[in-house]
Structure 1
Amino acid sequence: MENNVQGLIPGKVDKEHLDLLVRFARIRSETIVAALQSYFVEGLTQREAIDRYQVNQSQLSQKVAEIREVSDQVRLAAKYYTSE
């Protein structure tokens, strides 16, 4: 799966990619991680992920924003690690 320059697209994020972003963001709650995976990898809506994992709506929204921020930071830094 791929992500375009617009950022992370729910339902189109590779699980390994999300796992790295979760690690960089230092998110440790298993239920939040599972909800993030349902949203970003499986393509559920945030509401569906909240209902499935019984997580707090504001907490999931905050973690989605954190993952997006980490992704943006990694994308900016990536140019320094590519070979020419």
Structure 2
Amino acid sequence: MDVHNLAPGKVPAEQFDLLLAGTDIRGLRVAEALRLHLVDGLTPKEACEQTRANRGQFSLRLKAIHEENQRVIQLIKFYSIP
């Protein structure tokens, strides 16, 4: 699996938690919906319905998680052992 790819249902829980910690996402419903989507593989609609999260906020916060992931990818070169 490509760890750089945030494919729904393919993100390890630990990676999700670390990415979430690097964002300003604090809403419990949206955070749980994101987890259900990225870690457990539910569709955005299913995740939002299950958690009663706002779909608009979900979309904005999903973008923030993807942006944090891209930031981490850019940082990797500074921490990789040659």
**TM-score bracket relative to the smaller structure:** over 0.9
Ranges in structure 1 where 5+ consecutive residues have no aligned partner: none
Residue equivalent to 1:36:
34
> RMSD over aligned Cα, in angstroms?
1.2
Give secondary structure in 2 for the equivalent of 1:43: coil
| Partners of 1:18 and 1:37 within 8 A in 2 | yes
Question: What TM-score do you get using the length of structure 2 for normalisation?
Answer: 0.93
Determine helix, strand or coil for the equivalent of 2:68: helix
Cα distance in 1 between the residues matched to 2:58 and 2:30: 7
State the AA in 2 paired with 1:31.
R
User: 1:83 Cα shift?
Assistant: 0.7
User: Which residue number corresponds to residue 68 of structure 1?
Assistant: 66
TM-score (norm 1): 0.91
Match for residue 54 of structure 2 among 56, 78, 83? 56
* Contact 2:8/2:40 (<8 A) preserved: yes
Q: 1:27 aligns with which of 25, 48, 52?
A: 25
Once residues 64 and 3 of structure 1 are traced to their aligned partners in structure 2, the CA distance between those partners, rounded to angstroms, is 19
Q: Which amino acid aligns with 2:45?
A: R
Q: Note the residue ranges of structure 2 that are not aligned, 5 or more in a row.
A: none
Percent of matched pairs sharing the same residue: 33
Q: Match for residue 77 of structure 2?
A: 79
Task: Give the count of matched residue pairs.
Answer: 82
- In 2, Cα distance between the equivalents of 1:23 and 1:3? 21
Matched-pair contact (CA < 8 Å) for 1:11–1:42: yes
